[in-house]
Chains A and B, each alone.
Chain A
Amino acid sequence: MVFNSYTFIVFFIFILILHNLPFSWKTKKINLLIASYIFYAAWNPPFILLLWLSTVVDYFVGRSLYNEENKSKRKVLLVVSLIGNLGMLCFFKYGTFLLDNFVTLVNAVGLDYHPAKPNIILPAGISFYTFTTLCYTIDMYKRKSEPVKSLLDFSLFVTFFPHLVAGPIVRPPQLVPQFETPRKASALQLQQGLLLISLGLFMKVVLADSMLAASSDAIFSATNMVSSLDAWTGVLAFSGQIFFDFAGYSTCAIGVAACLGFVLPENFRYPYAAIGFSDFWRRWHITLSAWLRDYLYIPLGGNRKGQFRTYINLMITMLLGGLWHGASWTFVVWGALHGFYLWVEKILQDRNKTTPQAAMATESLPVQNGLAFPAALKKVLPPGLMVALFTFFLVNVTWVFFRAPDFTSAWRLLQPMFSYQSTAAPVLTSMSLLKVLIIVVLMLIFHWKMRNTSVLSVAGKMPWWLLGIIWAVLLGLLILSQESSSSFIYFQF
C-alpha cells in the first residue's frame, strides 16, 4: 500500500478511529500490528512470511545475545542473526547481480557457463527492515540497550507501518519505549501530522510525479545523444524528483506516526543547501547515514586508526552505502563518487586545520575555506552559498550514475553535460524545461532559506490565515494533479 492511494486514505481513517477507541493499550498495539501486516501484505501477501521470520529470529536471538555470558555462544548467535538477515537480503536483492557477475567472471577465464536467469522478485522494503532488525541484534550483542520486553513490542517496532517499507530507519531506543506506555496523539500532534501528510503527498504527487518525472524519464531513457541543455535539465529534474519522492515519503511517514501519537526521527533536512558533503550526508537520508556511521564506519575503526585507514573506512562505507541502494555497479560508482568527494573534503579540512587563517574560520563552513572562490563573491553572497551551489552541482553528477540503467547510458548523458554536442536533437519541450527549471530554482531557494529551521516551526510562526491558504493550495494541487498511485522510488531499494 502506498501513502498516495485511495486505499491508504480509507485504511488510515479506519486505523485512526480504531486507535482512538477506548481499548486497552495492548489491544491497540495488536490493532496496529495487524494493520501493519495488512499494509505490507497489500503488495504481495506471501512476502509477509519473510517479515515474520526476520522478526521472530531476531527477537529470540537478540534476547539470547543479551543474556548469554559465554563469548563463543554469543558470537555464534550474532553470526546466526547476520547470516539470517544479510543472507535474506543477499538472496532477494543481490542474487541475480552476484550470479551475473560470477557468470561474467567464469566466462572471462574461458569457461562456457550460462545458467538460466533466476526470476527473483524483490520484497518491498527488505533493505529497510533488514537494517532495522540488524541494528537490534548488534545492539544486543554490544549490550547497548535492554532487550525488548515482549514479542508484540518487537514485532511492532519492526513492522510499524509508517516506517516499514521506506524508512526512516528506526533504532530500538527511538521507537520501542514509545510502545511501552499508552500513547494517543494530542490535538496539536494530530494537526501537525495532517499538515505533514499533506506536504509529503504534495511533494510526491505534484512535484515528483506530475511535474518532474516525465522530463527525467525522457532524458534518462533517450537512446541518442542529447543536447547539453536537455542533459542538464533531465538530471536536475531527477535531482528534484528523487528528493521530493523520498523526502515526501519520509514526511508522510512522520506525519502518519504523529497522527497516531508516535514520533519518528527526521530523515531529510534540506539537503540541497548542504555546504559540503559531510553536511550533505547529515541532511540526506539521515537515518541511513547515521546507521552506516554507527554500524559500519565506526566498527571499521572510523577515524581512530590513522589518516590512511580513515580514508579507506570512508570509502568502504560509501561503496557499501551505494550497493545498499541497488544491485548494480552504477550504484557502486555513485557511492564511490560520494566517497571521493568526502575524501577531497577531508583533505581540505585537514589542510585548513594546519594553517593559522583556517584556525580562525568558523567550524560550520569547513569546506568553503578550502575552495578558491573569488574574494569579491564571498563578500557579496551569504556565507557558504557558493559552496552549497557547488555541492549541489557535484551531487547532480552523482545522480547520473544513480538513475542511469547502465554505464553506457550514464556516459551518454555525462558527455553533453560537460561538452557541447552540436548534432544532438532537442528532446524536452520548452514547457518541460520551464517546469523543471522553475521548480528546481524554487527548491534551491527554499532549501537555503530553511536550512536551519523546520517546516513545523515556520508554519507555527505564520498567521493562521496564510498557513490556511498555503495548505489549501497544497491540497488543491494534490487533487488537481490526478496522478495515480505510483510507487515511491525508494521502495525498490
Chain B
Amino acid sequence: MPQSSIAKAGILAIILVVIGFAAWEFYLRSKGIGIAYDDGPELWAAKRELADVPMDQATILIGSSRNKFDIDIATWEKLTGEKAIQLAVEGSSPLPMLDELAADPKFKGKVLLDVTEGLFFALAPPAFSQPNKMLKYYKERTPAQRASFAVNTVVESQLAFLDKEFFSLNAMIKESWVKNRPGVFMLPCSFPLDFKRVNFDRQCIMTKKFETDTSLRNYVKGIWYYYGTLDRMGPLKGPKLDSIFKTVQTAIAKIKGRGGKVVFVRSPSSGPYRAAEAAGYPRNAYWNRLLTSTGCQGIHFEDYPAIANFDCPEFSHLKQSDAIIYTENIVKILHDKGWTFPKENSKSL
C-alpha cells in the first residue's frame, strides 16, 4: 500500500470525525442540552469509595430516585459543611446498599435512607438487579477501571453528546422505528431527555422545560401509571414483609453497633401517586412499624408543614427549586432531632 494514501485517508478520517462531532456538539448545545454524566456503576463506585469517612465528614444517601431528585447536594453541603454522598439508585430497593454498608466494618457514618414504599417493601428481582450490579462492579473494580473513570470524567465534563442514556448509538436506534412482534415484553416508552440531567454528584435535576411542559409531564405520569399496572401482586404482606423488616433491623443494628446513625425519610409525592401510596401502604403497618422495629428516627414529609404540600410536576419528584427548599428543611429537621453537622448554619434556618 502506498504510504501517502493511507496517511491521506487517516487525515481525512480525523477531519471528518472532528467536524462531525463538533457539529453534533454544537447542535445539542444550541438545543439547550448541557452536560450529563453516565450514572452507571463506574460513577456509583467512585461515590461509594468516599463513604467510609468519619461521621462528622459526610452523610450517605441511599434509597431510590426520590432521594436523587429531592436532596440538593450543593444546598446540603453549603448548610452542613459536610459531604453528601449520593448512593441511591433509581427504581430499586435500597436494601442491598444498606446491607453492604452494614457489612463494611470501616463504615461508621450517617445514613439518610429514603423510603419509597413500592420499592422499599419489595422482593421482586428487578428491584435488586441494578444495586447488585453496582455493588459487584465496586467490589471487582480493577486499577485500570479506576484510571479509565478518571480520564472519562474529564472528557464527559466537556461534551454534551457523551450521554449514554440519550445519545449513544443504541439509544438513538429507537425500538419504535420498527413495529414490535406481538407478545414481546418491553417497557412502552423511556423517560424523556428533559425529565432529568444527572450531575457529577449523581443528583438528578429536572429541567425547566419539563417543569413547564404539560405534555412531557403527562408523558411521565403515564409511565408511573403503566408501572402501577405491572404490579399485580399488590403491596407485600405477611412473612415476606416480615423478612424485609428483619433484614433492615439486622443491618441497622450492625451500623448502630459501630456508632453509626440511620434516619428514614419519606420524601414527598403528590396527586394520585400520593393517594395510591397512602392507600397501599398505610403508615401504621409500614412506616411506623419501620421506625419502631429499628428504633431509628424518621422524617415523613406529611408531618412537617413546610414540606408537606409540594406539587411534584409528575407526582413523584421535586423540581429543582423545591428540592432546594426541601433540603434546607431536612437539614433543619435533622438538626432539631439532634444531628450535628460541622457547620452551624443548619441551626439558623
CB neighbours (8 Å) of B143 from chain A are 41-43, 45
B interface: dominant SS: helix
A106 within 8 A of B: no
Number of interface residues of A (CB under 8 A): 57
A selection of 22 A-B contacts at a CB cut-off of 8 Å is A1-B144, A7-B145, A42-B147, A43-B144, A45-B143, A192-B1, A195-B10, A425-B183, A429-B175, A429-B178, A429-B180, A430-B181, A431-B173, A460-B2, A460-B5, A465-B12, A471-B13, A472-B12, A472-B13, A480-B169, A481-B169, A484-B40
Most buried by B among A427, A481, A483, A484: A484
**Is the Cβ of B170 less than 8 Å from the Cβ of A6?**
no
How would residues 1 to 34 of chain B score, 1 for a CB under 8 Å from any chain A CB and 0 otherwise?
1111111111111101100110000000000000
Any A CB within 8 A of the CB of B279: no
CB distance from A293 to the nearest CB of B (A): 32
Q: Which residues of B contact A425 (CB under 8 A)?
A: 183-185
Q: How far is the CA of A173 from the CA of B143 in the complex (A)?
A: 34
Residues of A within 8 A of B151 (CB): 6-7, 9-10
B148 contacts the other chain (Cβ, under 8 Å)? yes
B6 touches A467 (CB 8 A): yes
Is A468 part of the binding interface, using a Cβ–Cβ cutoff of 8 Å?
A: yes
B223 at the interface (CB under 8 A from A): no
Q: Whole-angstrom distance between the alpha carbons of A16 and B245 in the complex?
A: 58
Could you tell me the dominant secondary structure of chain A's interface residues? Answer: helix
Chain A residues packing against B (C-beta within 8 Å): 1-2, 5-10, 41-45, 186-188, 191-192, 194-195, 206, 210-211, 425-431, 433-435, 456-457, 459-460, 462-465, 467-469, 471-472, 474-477, 479-485
Contact of B142 among A8, A10, A43, A484 (CB under 8 A): A43
B152 interface hit (Cβ, 8 Å): yes
Residues of chain A with a CB closer than 8 A to B17's CB = 472, 475-476, 479
Question: In the complex the two chains form, is A2's CB within 8 Å of B12's CB?
Answer: no
* Partner-A contacts on B (CB < 8 A): 1-14, 16-17, 20-21, 38, 40, 42, 142-145, 147-148, 151-152, 155, 162, 164, 167-170, 172-175, 177-186
Q: Write out the residue numbers on chain B whose beta carbons fall within 8 Å of the beta carbon of A467.
A: 5-6, 9
Nearest first, the 4 closest Cβ-Cβ pairs linking A and B are A468-B12, A460-B1, A42-B144, A471-B13
Report the bound CA distance from A45 to B173 in whole Å: 40
Task: Add 8 more A-B contacts to A188-B3, A468-B10 (CB < 8 A).
Answer: A1-B144, A7-B148, A43-B143, A429-B178, A429-B181, A457-B1, A472-B17, A475-B17
* A479 CB to nearest chain B CB (Å): 7
Q: Is the CB of B145 within 8 A of A194?
A: no
Residue contact B16 to A472, C-beta cutoff 8 Å: yes
